[in-house]
Protein backbone atom coordinates (compact mmCIF):
# COMPACT_ATOMS: atom_id res chain seq x y z
CA UNK A 1 0.00 0.00 0.00
CA UNK A 2 2.83 2.43 0.81
CA UNK A 3 4.46 1.69 -2.53
CA UNK A 4 1.16 2.32 -4.32
CA UNK A 5 0.69 5.61 -2.48
CA UNK A 6 4.21 6.72 -3.40
CA UNK A 7 3.59 5.88 -7.06
CA UNK A 8 0.41 7.95 -7.04
CA UNK A 9 2.13 10.86 -5.26
CA UNK A 10 4.98 10.60 -7.75
CA UNK A 11 2.42 10.81 -10.55
CA UNK A 12 1.11 14.10 -9.17
CA UNK A 13 4.59 15.57 -8.72
CA UNK A 14 5.67 14.55 -12.23
CA UNK A 15 2.40 15.81 -13.69
CA UNK A 16 2.97 19.14 -11.95
CA UNK A 17 6.15 19.85 -13.93
CA UNK A 18 5.07 22.82 -16.13
CA UNK A 19 7.06 21.96 -19.23
CA UNK A 20 5.54 24.85 -21.18
CA UNK A 21 6.85 27.28 -18.59
CA UNK A 22 10.23 25.52 -18.30
CA UNK A 23 10.95 25.30 -22.04
CA UNK A 24 9.93 28.87 -22.86
CA UNK A 25 11.82 30.30 -19.89
CA UNK A 26 14.93 28.24 -20.70
CA UNK A 27 15.14 29.30 -24.35
CA UNK A 28 13.47 32.73 -24.35
CA UNK A 29 13.68 33.96 -20.77
CA UNK A 30 9.94 34.69 -20.89
CA UNK A 31 6.85 33.40 -19.12
CA UNK A 32 4.38 31.57 -21.36
CA UNK A 33 1.64 32.60 -18.93
CA UNK A 34 2.09 36.17 -20.15
CA UNK A 35 1.64 35.12 -23.79
CA UNK A 36 -1.52 34.44 -25.78
CA UNK A 37 -4.18 32.74 -23.68
CA UNK A 38 -1.86 32.39 -20.69
CA UNK A 39 -2.22 28.62 -20.84
CA UNK A 40 0.92 26.56 -20.13
CA UNK A 41 0.01 23.82 -22.62
CA UNK A 42 1.58 22.96 -25.95
CA UNK A 43 -1.01 24.72 -28.11
CA UNK A 44 -0.33 28.10 -26.56
CA UNK A 45 3.42 27.50 -26.74
CA UNK A 46 3.09 26.60 -30.43
CA UNK A 47 1.02 29.68 -31.17
CA UNK A 48 3.40 32.01 -29.36
CA UNK A 49 6.78 30.49 -30.24
CA UNK A 50 6.25 28.03 -33.08
CA UNK A 51 6.26 24.30 -33.58
CA UNK A 52 9.91 23.80 -32.58
CA UNK A 53 8.81 24.63 -29.04
CA UNK A 54 5.21 23.44 -29.17
CA UNK A 55 5.97 19.89 -30.29
CA UNK A 56 8.58 19.14 -27.59
CA UNK A 57 6.23 20.54 -24.92
CA UNK A 58 3.42 18.32 -26.23
CA UNK A 59 5.65 15.23 -26.13
CA UNK A 60 6.85 16.04 -22.62
CA UNK A 61 3.25 16.55 -21.47
CA UNK A 62 2.34 13.16 -22.96
CA UNK A 63 5.33 11.56 -21.22
CA UNK A 64 4.38 12.89 -17.80
CA UNK A 65 1.06 11.07 -18.08
CA UNK A 66 2.50 7.94 -19.67
CA UNK A 67 5.34 7.25 -17.23
CA UNK A 68 3.37 7.32 -13.93
CA UNK A 69 0.51 5.29 -15.43
CA UNK A 70 2.86 2.67 -16.88
CA UNK A 71 4.84 2.38 -13.64
CA UNK A 72 1.58 2.07 -11.72
CA UNK A 73 0.29 -0.69 -13.96
CA UNK A 74 3.54 -2.64 -13.87
CA UNK A 75 4.10 -2.40 -10.13
CA UNK A 76 0.60 -2.14 -8.69
CA UNK A 77 -1.92 -3.20 -11.31
CA UNK A 78 -4.63 -1.49 -13.33
CA UNK A 79 -6.14 0.60 -10.54
CA UNK A 80 -2.77 1.95 -9.39
CA UNK A 81 -1.99 2.85 -12.99
CA UNK A 82 -5.31 4.65 -13.30
CA UNK A 83 -4.81 6.55 -10.04
CA UNK A 84 -1.20 7.48 -10.84
CA UNK A 85 -2.26 8.70 -14.28
CA UNK A 86 -5.18 10.64 -12.81
CA UNK A 87 -2.80 12.21 -10.30
CA UNK A 88 -0.52 13.28 -13.16
CA UNK A 89 -3.48 14.92 -14.89
CA UNK A 90 -4.42 16.71 -11.68
CA UNK A 91 -0.85 17.90 -11.36
CA UNK A 92 -0.95 19.27 -14.90
CA UNK A 93 -4.19 21.14 -14.20
CA UNK A 94 -3.13 22.43 -10.76
CA UNK A 95 0.67 22.15 -10.52
CA UNK A 96 2.24 22.37 -7.08
CA UNK A 97 5.37 23.91 -8.62
CA UNK A 98 3.26 26.90 -9.72
CA UNK A 99 1.53 27.30 -6.37
CA UNK A 100 -1.54 25.32 -7.49
CA UNK A 101 -2.39 28.05 -10.00
CA UNK A 102 -4.11 27.27 -13.28
CA UNK A 103 -2.19 24.80 -15.39
CA UNK A 104 -3.04 23.13 -18.68
CA UNK A 105 -6.18 21.45 -20.00
CA UNK A 106 -4.85 17.91 -19.61
CA UNK A 107 -5.39 16.69 -23.18
CA UNK A 108 -1.78 15.64 -23.90
CA UNK A 109 -1.26 14.30 -20.38
CA UNK A 110 -4.49 12.29 -20.60
CA UNK A 111 -3.28 10.95 -23.92
CA UNK A 112 -0.12 9.70 -22.26
CA UNK A 113 -2.13 7.95 -19.56
CA UNK A 114 -4.35 6.25 -22.14
CA UNK A 115 -1.28 5.21 -24.12
CA UNK A 116 -0.04 3.34 -21.05
CA UNK A 117 -3.42 1.83 -20.13
CA UNK A 118 -5.01 1.17 -23.54
CA UNK A 119 -2.58 1.67 -26.45
CA UNK A 120 -5.06 0.73 -29.19
CA UNK A 121 -7.68 3.16 -27.88
CA UNK A 122 -4.96 5.82 -27.68
CA UNK A 123 -4.04 5.20 -31.31
CA UNK A 124 -7.65 5.53 -32.45
CA UNK A 125 -8.09 8.73 -30.44
CA UNK A 126 -4.93 10.16 -31.99
CA UNK A 127 -6.42 9.56 -35.43
CA UNK A 128 -9.64 11.28 -34.30
CA UNK A 129 -7.67 14.30 -33.04
CA UNK A 130 -5.61 14.63 -36.22
CA UNK A 131 -8.58 14.16 -38.55
CA UNK A 132 -10.71 16.71 -36.71
CA UNK A 133 -7.88 19.22 -36.54
CA UNK A 134 -7.00 18.86 -40.23
CA UNK A 135 -10.65 19.25 -41.25
CA UNK A 136 -11.59 22.18 -39.02
CA UNK A 137 -8.29 23.73 -37.80
CA UNK A 138 -9.55 24.09 -34.25
CA UNK A 139 -7.30 22.50 -31.61
CA UNK A 140 -10.08 22.82 -29.05
CA UNK A 141 -12.63 21.05 -31.27
CA UNK A 142 -10.13 18.26 -31.96
CA UNK A 143 -9.57 17.85 -28.22
CA UNK A 144 -13.32 17.76 -27.52
CA UNK A 145 -13.95 15.20 -30.28
CA UNK A 146 -11.17 13.04 -28.88
CA UNK A 147 -12.56 13.37 -25.36
CA UNK A 148 -15.94 12.09 -26.55
CA UNK A 149 -14.34 9.24 -28.51
CA UNK A 150 -12.11 8.06 -25.67
CA UNK A 151 -14.59 6.29 -23.35
CA UNK A 152 -16.48 4.88 -26.36
CA UNK A 153 -13.28 3.34 -27.73
CA UNK A 154 -12.30 1.89 -24.35
CA UNK A 155 -15.74 0.39 -23.89
CA UNK A 156 -15.93 -1.10 -27.40
CA UNK A 157 -12.42 -2.53 -27.09
CA UNK A 158 -13.46 -4.25 -23.85
CA UNK A 159 -10.79 -2.56 -21.75
CA UNK A 160 -10.77 -3.28 -17.99
CA UNK A 161 -13.40 -1.52 -15.90
CA UNK A 162 -10.82 0.71 -14.23
CA UNK A 163 -9.68 1.99 -17.62
CA UNK A 164 -13.23 2.58 -18.87
CA UNK A 165 -14.08 4.53 -15.71
CA UNK A 166 -10.89 6.54 -16.04
CA UNK A 167 -11.64 7.29 -19.69
CA UNK A 168 -15.13 8.49 -18.80
CA UNK A 169 -13.90 10.72 -15.97
CA UNK A 170 -11.03 12.09 -18.06
CA UNK A 171 -13.41 12.83 -20.91
CA UNK A 172 -15.71 14.83 -18.62
CA UNK A 173 -12.77 16.70 -17.09
CA UNK A 174 -11.41 17.72 -20.49
CA UNK A 175 -14.85 18.89 -21.61
CA UNK A 176 -15.32 20.96 -18.43
CA UNK A 177 -11.89 22.58 -18.85
CA UNK A 178 -12.85 23.48 -22.43
CA UNK A 179 -16.19 25.06 -21.51
CA UNK A 180 -15.04 28.54 -22.60
CA UNK A 181 -13.84 27.11 -25.91
CA UNK A 182 -17.23 25.44 -26.36
CA UNK A 183 -18.92 28.80 -25.90
CA UNK A 184 -16.67 30.41 -28.49
CA UNK A 185 -17.21 27.54 -30.92
CA UNK A 186 -20.98 27.89 -30.58
CA UNK A 187 -20.78 31.65 -31.15
CA UNK A 188 -18.33 31.36 -34.03
CA UNK A 189 -15.61 33.34 -32.25
CA UNK A 190 -13.08 30.56 -31.65
CA UNK A 191 -9.83 31.26 -33.53
CA UNK A 192 -8.63 28.77 -36.09
CA UNK A 193 -5.14 27.42 -35.63
CA UNK A 194 -2.39 28.51 -37.99
CA UNK A 195 1.35 28.02 -37.80
CA UNK A 196 1.93 31.73 -38.20
CA UNK A 197 -0.48 32.78 -35.49
CA UNK A 198 1.02 34.21 -32.31
CA UNK A 199 -0.40 35.34 -29.03
CA UNK A 200 -3.83 33.93 -29.85
CA UNK A 201 -6.37 33.68 -27.05
CA UNK A 202 -8.27 30.74 -28.50
CA UNK A 203 -7.15 28.57 -25.66
In a domain, 193, yes or no: no
In a domain, 196, yes or no: no
Instruction: Report the pLDDT value the prediction gives residue 75, as an integer from 0 to 100.
Output: 96
Would the pLDDT of 201 be above 90?
Answer: no
186 CB burial (10 A radius; 0-12, 13-18, 19+): exposed
Instruction: Report the pLDDT value the prediction gives residue 120, as an integer from 0 to 100.
Output: 97
> What pLDDT, in 10s, does the model give residues 5-33?
999 999 999 999 999 999 999 999 999 99
State which residues form the domain around 172: 2-187
Cα separation, 121 vs 130, in Å, equals: 14
Cα separation, 86 vs 114, in Å, equals: 10
Cα separation, 12 vs 65, in Å, equals: 9
| Residue among 76, 82, 62, 81 nearest 170 (CA) | 82
In a domain, 59, yes or no: yes
In a domain, 164, yes or no: yes
In a domain, 194, yes or no: no
In a domain, 21, yes or no: yes
> What pLDDT, in 10s, does the model give residues 101-136?
989 999 999 999 999 999 999 999 999 999 999 999
* Contact yes or no for 89/65 (Cβ under 8 A): yes
Would the pLDDT of 199 be above 50?
Answer: no
Would the pLDDT of 195 be above 80?
Answer: no
Q: Show Cβ contacts of residue 150 under 8 Å, excluding neighbours closer than 6 positions.
A: 110, 114, 121, 125, 167, 170, 171
How many domains is the chain partitioned into structurally?
1
In a domain, 136, yes or no: yes
Cα separation, 68 vs 17, in Å, equals: 13
Report residue 92's pLDDT band, with 50, 70 and 90 as the boundaries: very high
User: Average pLDDT over the chain, rounded to whole?
Assistant: 92
> What pLDDT, in 10s, does the model give residues 147-171?
999 999 999 999 999 999 999 999 9
Amino acid sequence: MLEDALIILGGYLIGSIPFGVVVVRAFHGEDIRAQGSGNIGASNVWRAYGRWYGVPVALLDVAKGFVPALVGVKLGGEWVGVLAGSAAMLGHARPIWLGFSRGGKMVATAGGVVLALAPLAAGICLVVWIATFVLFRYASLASLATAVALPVCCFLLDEPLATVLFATAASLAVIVLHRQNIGRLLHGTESRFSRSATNSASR
